[in-house]
Amino acid sequence: MKFSYTPKNVCSRNIDIEVDNNGIVLSVAFLGGCNGNLKGISSLCVGMHIDDVINKLENIRCGFKNTSCPAQLADALKAYKSKKEG
């Protein structure tokens, strides 16, 4: 299933995610933000279960912000799970 998320309080403007029926991340693409870093994070998440991605990324902070692009990816996956469980 494909899912788009608008992150909050970070440089990236959109996150597109694709997850299979077993909860495995198939792809992640950020629009905006630190291009190389976000491509690296996206690549590392492919093949991982969404719960593992959430656990690893949800508390990461960027500078003095209370969030980060990785934390926003975790929030996006939480929103995906919530929508799916609906």
| DSSP 8-state assignment for residue 53 | H
For the chain of 86 residues, list the mean pLDDT of each consecutive stretch of 10: 96 97 97 95 98 97 95 97 84
* Residues 33 and 8: beta-carbon distance below 8 Å: no
pLDDT of amino acid 84: 82
Q: How far apart are CA 8 and CA 23, in angstroms?
A: 24
Instruction: Name residue 30's beta-bridge partners.
Output: 15
As given in the structure block, the two tokens for residue 59 are 């508390």
DSSP string, 5-48: E--SSSS--EEEEEE-TTSBEEEEEEESS-HHHHHHHHHHHTTS
Instruction: List the structure tokens of 19.
Output: 């997850």
Q: Is the pTM of this model over 0.85?
A: yes
pLDDT at 83: 87
The closest alpha carbon to 31, from 64, 76, 67, 63, belongs to: 76
